[in-house]
Amino acid sequence: MTRSRRAGDLVLSFSQLDLLAKCPQRYFRRYILREPDVVGAPLIMGRAFHEAMQANFEHKMEAGIDLDANRVAKIYRDAFDRESDLPGFVDLETLTENQVDWGGQDPKELREQGQRALLRYLKQHAPFLEPLSVEQRLERQVAPGVKLVGMLDLVTAADVVVDYKLVNYVWPDSRVQMSLQPTCYAALLDRPVQFDFHFITKNPKSNVGISLRRTERTRADIDWLLDVHIPQAVRLLDQELWLRSPSDQCVYCPHRLGCGYRVQESAEE
Ligand code: SF4
């Protein structure tokens, strides 16, 4: 029995399953040892965006119309400002939980970029979305002592699950089609789903773009997750095989000091 399961149910989310598949050692350091992670600027922008859209769509479920755009923008700015007061990241040796790495960018400019993206989304897409549920937390027992959990950004009246992603670039179609996230959400809903990723992109030139990408998950996908993937993940956790899986993610990994994997310097000048 692993450390994580002695305390009760093992709780797995999509992001935990994803991290475990990418690098078990990173999962171990983050979720078992609870080593601190760095808060990146995109996470702060994304959380503020989610909070603002949650307020908008909750209002729309009650009143039938979107909130005034200025009010939604204020909710975004307030949420962003709350987190932008967190201490700044210096280096991995002095890292504590909730330090923000702005990546050398000006927080004020990032705040403006996020607001531009939000206002554009509110104008171009929100009016056409009819919310059925907003920020709905779901959980499901998927094996004895194992729970799958997830938070669905939005389910529309047309029965489409929507997930907003504030990103620097739109994912290639292969990543959209193979993502574990829609499969986890279909399992949580216990039915096939149509799933739309709403990519809100902000590039270094401060241009904002919005791209929608659809994928679907069937009953067979759900069965694969529940009968194959999750049981294998649980076996991996029970055996405590915390394999190091070096890849390009090591450069940004907040656990690379403890992991001991030496990130090679680039040979290019
Ligand atoms: S540095 Fe690389 S190998 Fe080590 S935990 Fe991080 S991602 Fe995994």
The predicted structure's pLDDT at residue 269: 46
Assigned token pair, 158:
């047309």
The model's pTM: 0.90
Who lines ligand 1 at CB under 6 A?
23, 25-26, 244-246, 249-250, 253, 255-256, 259, 261
User: Mean pLDDT throughout 8-30?
Assistant: 94
| Rounded Cα–Cα distance for residues 108 and 89 (Å) | 17
Residue 51 backbone phi and psi in degrees, to 5: -65, -40
What is the secondary structure of 147-198 as a DSSP string? EEEEEEEEEETT-EEEEEEEESSPPPHHHHHH-HHHHHHHHHHTS-EEEEEE
193 within 8 A of 161, measured Cβ to Cβ = yes
| Rounded Cα–Cα distance for residues 4 and 32 (Å) | 6
The H or E element containing residue 74 is helix 69-84
The predicted structure's pLDDT at residue 192: 98
pLDDT digits (tens, 9 = 90+) for 20-48: 999 999 999 999 999 999 988 888 999 99
Question: Which residue's CA lies nearest to atom 7 of ligand 1?
Answer: 250
Ligand 1 atom index nearest CA of 25: 5
Distance from residue 33's CA to the centre of ligand 1 (Å): 14
| Rounded Cα–Cα distance for residues 135 and 104 (Å) | 31
What are the residues facing 101 on neighbouring strands?
A: 40
> Which of 224, 167, 225, 177 is CA-nearest to residue 199?
167
| More confident of the two residues 263 and 143 | 143
Of 41-45, 82-86, 203-207, where does mean pLDDT reach its minimum? Answer: 203-207
Burial (CB < 10 A; 0-12, 13-18, 19+), residue 185, is buried
Distance from residue 1's CA to the centre of ligand 1 (Å): 24
Distance from residue 237's CA to the centre of ligand 1 (Å): 17
The predicted structure's pLDDT at residue 261: 76
Q: Which of 123-127, 180-184, 198-202 has the highest average model confidence (pLDDT)? A: 180-184
Ligand 1 atom index nearest CA of 244: 3
Of 36-50, 82-96, 236-250, where does mean pLDDT reach its minimum? Answer: 82-96
Distance from residue 191's CA to the centre of ligand 1 (Å): 35
Percent of the chain surpassing pLDDT 70? 93
Predicted confidence (pLDDT) at residue 263 exceeds the cutoff of 80: no
Assigned token pair, 113:
């970029």
The predicted structure's pLDDT at residue 1: 43
User: Mean pLDDT throughout 38-61?
Assistant: 94
Predicted confidence (pLDDT) at residue 10 exceeds the cutoff of 70: yes
The predicted structure's pLDDT at residue 4: 47
DSSP state, 248? G
Residue 106 backbone phi and psi in degrees, to 5: -80, 120
Distance from residue 253's CA to the centre of ligand 1 (Å): 6
The predicted structure's pLDDT at residue 5: 54
Give the pLDDT band of residue 54 (cuts 50, 70, 90): very high
Best of 26, 38, 92, 263 to mutate for ligand 1, by most ligand atoms within 8 A of CB? 26
| Rounded Cα–Cα distance for residues 16 and 253 (Å) | 15
Q: Mapping DSSP to helix (H, G, I), strand (E, B) and coil, where does residue 97 land? A: coil
Burial (CB < 10 A; 0-12, 13-18, 19+), residue 154, is buried
The H or E element containing residue 44 is helix 41-63
Predicted confidence (pLDDT) at residue 235 exceeds the cutoff of 60: yes
The predicted structure's pLDDT at residue 205: 62
Distance from residue 261's CA to the centre of ligand 1 (Å): 7
| Rounded Cα–Cα distance for residues 53 and 77 (Å) | 12
The predicted structure's pLDDT at residue 204: 61
Give the pLDDT band of residue 142 (cuts 50, 70, 90): very high
The predicted structure's pLDDT at residue 260: 84
- For the chain, the average pLDDT equals 91
Distance from residue 94's CA to the centre of ligand 1 (Å): 18
| Rounded Cα–Cα distance for residues 119 and 190 (Å) | 34
Of 40-44, 123-127, 179-183, where does mean pLDDT reach its minimum? Answer: 40-44
Assigned token pair, 211:
């791209």
The predicted structure's pLDDT at residue 70: 97
Predicted confidence (pLDDT) at residue 2 exceeds the cutoff of 60: no
Best of 261, 262, 263, 264 to mutate for ligand 1, by most ligand atoms within 8 A of CB? 261
Assigned token pair, 226:
């529940």
